[in-house]
Amino acid sequence: MSKQLLSIHGLIEEDLNNKLKTIIIQSNDLDLSNHFLNYYLHASLKRSFYLNDENVIEFLKLYFKNIKPINCQLNGLMIQKDMLWLNVISDELIDIHNELDNILLNKFNIRIDEYDKNYFPHITLFSNSPLVKLEKIKDKLNNFIFEDNFIIDKINIGKDINNMERINLWLKKHLIIVEK
């Protein structure tokens, strides 16, 4: 099996996704890198890792089939290294992340890296940007109140092979899988 990079994200609700993207686009007059706007805004559930066993994907599908929608709340902005994060408060998200880390380590020998050890739920708005510009955009975005409550009811598993393959899992009564 060739090395494939796997990522796991909780996707935010469509209305909030559209609202945040509109605010970001209108506020970004500094040409900051916001390639995240090409995708659904999301909260990462596990740092990307190399897939060492195809059974991991099947396991994740079954795991998320038993997870209920995740309650979350936005809680302001934070600069982290060269990124601007929108903080997310959710004990449920943290619990799922920690459980997932432990299961993947014990069942598939997928290591827990520093990011995962110090997991802080967030939505990345900008990355690869100079601190001075991040501080300016943060000041501008602080004019908006980021305290929305929202639910993560869709999990995205991204598998990096030639093109990014996405597997979307809805956290509802029944599991629906859409592959593109």
- Enumerate the domain spans of the chain: 4-179
Using only C-alpha atoms, the chain has a radius of gyration, in whole angstroms, of 16
3-state helix, strand, coil in the chain (%, to 5): 35, 35, 30
Query: What pLDDT does residue 4 have?
Result: 76
Contacts of 45 (CB under 8 A, 6+ apart): 8, 9, 10, 93, 96, 97, 100, 155
* pLDDT tens, position by position, 129-177: 889 989 998 999 988 878 889 999 888 887 754 444 455 555 543 333 4
Answer yes or no: is pLDDT of 116 > 60: yes
Query: What pLDDT does residue 87 have?
Result: 95
Answer yes or no: is pLDDT of 125 > 80: yes
Question: Which CATH code fits 4-179?
Answer: 3.90.1140.10
- Tell me the residue ranges of DSSP E strands in 23-82: 42-51, 70-80
The pTM assigned to this predicted structure is: 0.83
* pLDDT tens, position by position, 28-71: 777 776 666 667 788 989 888 888 888 998 899 889 888 889 99
Least trusted range by pLDDT, from 81-90, 96-105, 149-158: 149-158
CA distance 75 to 93: 14
